[in-house]
C-alpha cells in the first residue's frame, strides 16, 4: 500500500511531529498527558521492540482486552498502532477468548496470565510507573521504557486483517482507504472497537488529533475540556 496509517504517522513525524497528537484527561485523578506526534511514535516504536523481544513476529495476532476496557486511555492507542506497525491484527475480545493470540495485553485490574499466551499488563499510571508485583507469567509494560528507540515497520498487505472482533473484520486495506480526518476530536465513553480503529486510522491519515477523556464527565465538563483543547 502506498499510503496507510503507519506511513501517515511517519510523514507526520517528519513534517510536523512537535504538534499535539493525543491529549489525555483522567477526570478521576485530574491527570493530563499530552503526546506530540514524535512522542507518540516513540512509544509505538518502543512497544514494537518490546513485542519482538517477547518473540512476537510480523503479522502477529495481538489480543487487546485493554482496548475493550480502557479505549480512551492513550496506551490503548499505542498498542493498536504498534500492532499495525508490525503488520499485525488487533483482536478485540475478552480474556477468555484469546487462546489463538500471539500476545495478550491487559489492564491493571486483577492482572493475570492468559493461559498459553504471552501476557503483558499495563498499569496505566500517568507517569508510566509499573506494578509493585505481578504473578508469574505476566510481563510489566513498564519494561517498554528500556527498549531501544529504533524505528522499523513490517510490510502490511491490503488483504490482511488489522482488526478482528465479533462480527467485524477490518483489513489494512480498508483502514488505508478511509477518508482522512484533520480535525481535533474529543472522544470519551466506550466506542466499539470498529468505530475506534476507524477513527484512529482516519485521524492518522488526515494528520488530525485526539482529546481522550477517561472517567465520568457531565456535559458541562465536556464543554470545558472541548473549549480548552479546541476540540469538537
Question: Each residue of 28-84: pLDDT tens digit?
Answer: 999 999 999 999 999 999 999 999 999 999 999 999 999 999 999 999 999 999 999
CATH number for the region 5-229 comes to 3.40.50.12780
pLDDT tens by residue, 161-182: 999 988 889 999 999 999 999 9
What average pLDDT does the segment 195-208 reach? 97
Lowest mean pLDDT among 53-62, 145-154, 164-173, 218-227: 164-173
Residue 121 confidence (pLDDT): 98
The DSSP 8-state label assigned to residue 91 in this structure reads E
Kindly report the backbone phi and psi dihedral angles of residue 24, in degrees, each rounded to the nearest multiple of 5, phi listed first: -115, 135
Closest CA to 104 of 123, 122, 117, 86: 117
Domain ranges of the chain: 5-229
Indicate the pLDDT class of residue 1, thresholds 50, 70 and 90: very low
3-class DSSP state of 132: coil
**C-alpha–C-alpha distance, residues 148 and 50, integer Å:** 9
Give me the helices (H) in the chain, please.
Answer: 5-16, 37-53, 65-69, 74-85, 172-176, 193-206, 219-229
Q: Which residues contact 149 (CB under 8 A, 6 or more apart)?
A: 42, 45, 46
User: Cβ(103)–Cβ(117) under 8 Å?
Assistant: yes
Amino acid at each position: 500500500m502506498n499510503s496507510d496509517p503507519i506511513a501517515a504517522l511517519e510523514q507526520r513525524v517528519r513534517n510536523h511531529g512537535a504538534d499535539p497528537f493525543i491529549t489525555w484527561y483522567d477526570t478521576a485523578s485530574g491527570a493530563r498527558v499530552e503526546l506530540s506526534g514524535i512522542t507518540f511514535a516513540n512509544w509505538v516504536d518502543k512497544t514494537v521492540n518490546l513485542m519482538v523481544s517477547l518473540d512476537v513476529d510480523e503479522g502477529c495476532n495481538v489480543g487487546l482486552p485493554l482496548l475493550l476496557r480502557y479505549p480512551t486511555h492513550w496506551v490503548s492507542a499505542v498498542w493498536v498502532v504498534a500492532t499495525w506497525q508490525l503488520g499485525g491484527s488487533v483482536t478485540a475480545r475478552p480474556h477468555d477468548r484469546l487462546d489463538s493470540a500471539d500476545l495478550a495485553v491487559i489492564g491493571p485490574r486483577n492482572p493475570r496470565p492468559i493461559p498459553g499466551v504471552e501476557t503483558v499488563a499495563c498499569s496505566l499510571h500517568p507517569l508510566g510507573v509499573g506494578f509493585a508485583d505481578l504473578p508469574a507469567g505476566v510481563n510489566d509494560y513498564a519494561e517498554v521504557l528500556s527498549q531501544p528507540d529504533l524505528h522499523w515497520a513490517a510490510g502490511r498487505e491490503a488483504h490482511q486483517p488489522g482488526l478482528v472482533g465479533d462480527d467485524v473484520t477490518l483489513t489494512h486495506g480498508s483502514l488505508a482507504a478511509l477518508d482522512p480526518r484533520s480535525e481535533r476530536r474529543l472522544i470519551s465513553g466506550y466506542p466499539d472497537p470498529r468505530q475506534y480503529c476507524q477513527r484512529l486510522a482516519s485521524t492518522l491519515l488526515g494528520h488530525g488529533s485526539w482529546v481522550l477523556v477517561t472517567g465520568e464527565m457531565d456535559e458541562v465538563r465536556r464543554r470545558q475540556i472541548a473549549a480548552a483543547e479546541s476540540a469538537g
